[in-house]
Amino acid sequence: MTITRIRTRVAAIPVDKPTRMSNRELRDRHYVLVQVEDDTGATGLGYTYAGTSGGPLTKAAVDDLLAPVYLGADHHDVHGLWSLAYQETLLSGRRGAVIRALSAIDIALWDLRAKRAGLPLVSLLGGSTSALPAYASGGYYRPDDGEWSDAVRKEIAFNAGQGFTDHKIKVGGLSVAEDARRVAAAVEAIGDGRLALDANNAYRSVRDARVAIEAFERAAGDTALWWFEEPLSPDAIAGHGELARHIRTPVATGEIHQTRWEFRELIESRAAAILQTDAGVVGGVTEWMRVAHTADTFGLQMAPHWHHNLHVHLCGAIGNALVVEYFALEKGIYNFEQLLTPETRLVYGANQVRIPARPGIGIELDEEAVAKYSID
């Protein structure tokens, strides 16, 4: 079957109140939507997150750089086309927006293949549609939510009301002492569940990160922290490895890293016990699966970043999935599901997410919502 059309759109959805993490404030979320059509009229949908301003740049990478590689080609040749497209990026940039653009096209091709086979993507990849463990993500800094520790307690209570016992909050955006109070409040509110901490590259050195996590561990008391996420810059691979050797809490990272070659360096440096590979960043489904299988041979687990609608399928198709990150749409932070029809949004409950049995990824765009937020 021949690829006859590639349609690319950008949607910019504002967060619903002032929000920040350790090192930046959030305004709009830019999502790049890619629809691939074959000569029978069948279509596949792919997407990626392009930051708070990178949507037009990522769209241009799809339209001007990568689409010519795919148009007229056989959509079954997913791996071969990935290699050709990656080679095409040689002089244009092989990271950042370009690889996110490649990710979106690759995801769309896998969605198309699964739809044509009449199977959910997880089944096409060799997995089952059994429910998967998940955690409630959030804990951003939102001044409108009140005093910092009280805000954490309220959010944990909201998560628990949705059936979640495991949680993640941000750190690194306040003093270590203030963040430690937030950690203590979260641990107390959670009770028997688990708590992960996400620093979003907050700390400038291994020493600073070590001081912070040891303070957070003391604040958690007898409760072990689940993981310490992205304490350093993504470029500090050796630094993550050094930190991991000297602290009790497992290090998790990988959401910004792209392609199997960067993950090879992460693995060789023993920089993380948990890989947070994002299919919308790493190079699509094709590259995500390569990374996951490689990680499995080294005894590493996968806890992918964001995009729960897609990652449930990928986690269901591997043997080393730890957990799926879930963002409640009501929080207005990860707001991608505003672009989807309500009946195709992810179903959750009892600390789990359910893999849809619909063909492909199992999502459908709400075209009115896409039009509302479009910045094409």
Give 179-206 pLDDT, tens digit per residue.
Answer: 999 999 999 999 999 999 999 999 999 9
Domain harbouring 38, CATH code: 3.30.390.10
Distance CA 93, CA 9 (A): 21
3-state SS, one letter per residue, for the chain: CEEEEEEEEEEEEEEEEEEECCCCEEEEEEEEEEEEEECCCCEEEEEEECCCCCHHHHHHHHHHHHHHHHCCCECCCHHHHHHHHHHHCCCCCCCCHHHHHHHHHHHHHHHHHHHHHCCEHHHHCCCCCCCEEEEEECCCECHHHCCHHHHHHHHHHHHHHCCCCCEEEECCCCCHHHHHHHHHHHHHHHCCCCEEEECCCCCCCHHHHHHHHHHHHHHHCCCCCCCEECCCCCCCHHHHHHHHHHCCCCEEECCCCCHHHHHHHHHHCCCCCEECCCHHHHCHHHHHHHHHHHHHHCCCEECCCCCHHHHHHHHCCCCCECCEEECCHHHCCCCHHHHECHHHCCEEECCEEECCCCCECCCCECHHHHHHHECC
Do residues 101 and 86 both lie within one domain?
A: yes
pLDDT at 328: 97
Same-domain check for residues 80 and 221? no
What tokens does 47 get? 């997407």
Q: Side chain identity at 138, as an amino acid letter? A: G
On whether residue 214 sits in a domain, the answer given is yes
Across 346-367, average pLDDT: 98
- The predicted-structure confidence for 94-132, as pLDDT tens digits, reads as follows 899 999 999 999 999 999 999 999 999 999 999 999 999
Say how far apart CA 244 and CA 130 lie, in whole Å: 33
- pLDDT tens for each residue of 301-347: 999 999 999 999 999 999 999 999 999 999 999 999 999 999 999 99
Share of the chain above pLDDT 70, in %: 100
Q: How confident is the model at residue 281 (pLDDT cuts 50, 70, 90)?
A: very high
In a domain, 171, yes or no: yes
Q: Based on the fold, state whether residues 26 and 172 are members of the same structural domain.
A: no
pTM for the structure as a whole: 0.97
In the prediction, which pLDDT does 1 show?
84
Shared domain check, 172 and 247: yes
User: What is the percent of the chain where pLDDT is above 90?
Assistant: 98
Strand duo 3-20 + 25-38: pairing: antiparallel
**41 and 111 both lie in a single domain:** yes
**What pLDDT was estimated at residue 359?**
98
Average pLDDT over residues 48-69: 97
Q: For residue 64, what are the domain limits?
A: 3-118+368-373
Same domain, yes or no: 199 and 110: no
Question: The domain spanning residue 144 has which CATH number?
Answer: 3.20.20.120
Whether 168 and 280 map to the same domain: the answer is: yes
Same domain, 163 and 138: yes
Assigned domain for 363 exists: no
Residues 38 and 169 in one domain: no
- When the pLDDT of each residue in the chain is averaged and rounded to a whole number, the result is 97
Q: Is residue 361 domain-resident?
A: no
Total domain count for the chain? 2
Residues 213, 267 within the same domain: yes
Q: What is the mean pLDDT of residues 237-258?
A: 98
> Residues 84, 220: one domain?
no
Whether 323 is covered by a domain: the verdict is yes
Cβ atoms of 259 and 283 within 8 Å: the answer is yes
Q: Is residue 362 part of a domain?
A: no
Residue 236 lies in a domain: yes
**360, part of any domain:** no
pLDDT at residue 376 is higher than 80: no
Quick one: pLDDT band at residue 218, thresholds 50, 70, 90?
A: very high
My answer on whether 138 and 271 are in the same domain is: yes
